[in-house]
Amino acid sequence: MLRLIQLNRNVRSIRRYRQIITVLGGYGLEHLVEYLNLSQVVAFSRRMLRRPSKVAHLSAPERLRLAFEELGPTFIKLGQLLSTRADIIPPNFVQELTHLQDNIPCISFEEIRGQIEHELGVPLGQRFAYVEPEAIAGASIAQVHRATLITGEDVVVKVRRPGVMEAVETDIDILMGVALLLERHMARSDIYDPVGVVREFSYTIRREMDLSREGHAIERIRDNFHGDATLYFPQVYWEATAKGVLTTEYVDGIKVSDTGVIEEAGLDRREIAQRGARAFLKMVLEHGFFHGDPHPGNVLILPGNVICLLDYGMVGRLDPAVKRYLTDVLGAVISRDVEGLAHIIVEAGDAAETVNMHALKKGLAEFMDSYLEIPLKEIVVGRMLLEFIDLVSTHRIKVHPDLTLLVKVLVVVEGMGRKLDPEFDMVGHLRPFLEREFRQQRSPGRLLREMEQGLEGYLTLARNFPRDMKEILNKINRNKFRIDLEHRGLDRFSKELDRSANRVCLSLIIAALLIGSSIAMQINHGPMLWGFPIFAFFGYSCAGLVGIWWMVAILRSGRL
């Protein structure tokens, strides 16, 4: 049974591979496949596909965005993830992928009804008095319907699309295969870490498909802001929630982007901007757990300047080490401490074996000089951090993925703040949080805890050292001690060497056929064909056919 399931999965993967290659070729992106050294696939795409004239005038980032949209849910989510990773893709691609449209036609209500009943395990009427047949929103993973519970509450029901999990798993298998190829063939793959990116993506999208996790995220953030009357969080109705269905309170408010309507309602735009900034910075710097997609459509304004956040499918997490790194970096940038910033980056970041400190400090100095004449209140912190991440990654230093997501979110939050209040000053809101964090880092209690943790680590090392040494010595005595050496960057060289050796061998075979046939041509005995010795004729024919096939193969590979 397991073999049949695996076989079916492999068949789906092959079909999906073909579809992906066809779509990429249709948008003139065959070079992506060629970059992976898949010469046979490239030959197929060049024979079968031509770039349509309708996309020939578009830039490469635009064509990649359109291809991702056509390839469906997994690639849309992958593009959205890559749009937060300014450390691994160029800025023009980051900017274009932020425009990915996650709008997929909604499926019929009968399918949704069956999905709800399947997930909840009961007939629809046992949980809902009414469900609106027309969806109010549709995306790649799920679609949303208004409804009324049997107890009378107005709610919204988010339902995962049928079959989406199987499609996503197939795509993840394919992406992992592509990532392994990239790791072998891509320069500086140790910095870009394609396998790590796919693992991060698979973890994120699997969590996002479990809608019950979104409900837990709502409640966690609500608990973090317990007693804060400036924020409102929709209630989760767990009796009508499962892994594939999320039922939450329907909240009626004004979109934060509708500034005219906000003013007509008598609400204070400046106060809303200040509350939003404080809430976001508190999520990040105090709680370490923040809303990962606060675009204007997910932010509602309620009476009393109260802010309500919707759609918690994407959240970010910052552990204490990353929070400290972030606060140290921001503190060094605001105080314009180049030397300190360079050491923070190298000590806390995942750097390459050799970092050119002189070049790094020079780049950081130029980065800070570009903001030297700008008043602090006019600095756009999100944009500044995007430039910082781009600078750091050029020096082969990895950046924590959640930190790149945070920077993207910060850009969105600052944009909303400045639209609400042209005098919005993120640095002014940020400074009290940084000062408080610095005081806490230097507090006696924090220092004592860090000393205890460090001492505990040394004690563990001392406790395990004799056992580890004994194990090493035992392996040496039993001749089982082995050191593995890994040659990196030689795969492409080995393949090119094999290809060259094969061509030399083929050349020798052709030459041998020609020489042997020429000798046979001088013999007048044996079977003849059209007056020529048949063995000579056969040798010339084989040499000619092999030579023609060889030249065609070389021309198709594009490498003369």
Q: How far apart are CA 98 and CA 223, in angstroms?
A: 31
Q: What is the CA radius of gyration of the chain?
A: 31
Strand stretches in 181-233, DSSP E: 231-232
Q: Cβ distance 74 to 205 under 8 Å?
A: yes
CB crowding 181-201: b at 16 or more within 10 Å, else e: bbbbbbeebebbbbbebbeeb
DSSP character string of 365-421: HHHHHTTTTS-GGG--HHHHHHHHHHHHHHTTEE--HHHHHHHHHHHHHHHHHHHH-
**CA–CA separation, 321 and 287 (whole Å):** 13
Question: Catalytic: 293?
Answer: yes
CA–CA separation, 98 and 417 (whole Å):
19
* Selected catalytic residue, list 293, 311, 328, 421: 293
Contacts 24+ apart (CB under 8 A), 532-535: none
Partners of 254 in beta bridges: 301
- Residues 442 and 435: beta-carbon distance below 8 Å: no
Task: Take residue 482 and report the two structure tokens written for it.
Answer: 């082995």
Distance between CA atoms of 440 and 437, rounded to whole angstroms? 5
Catalytic residues: 293
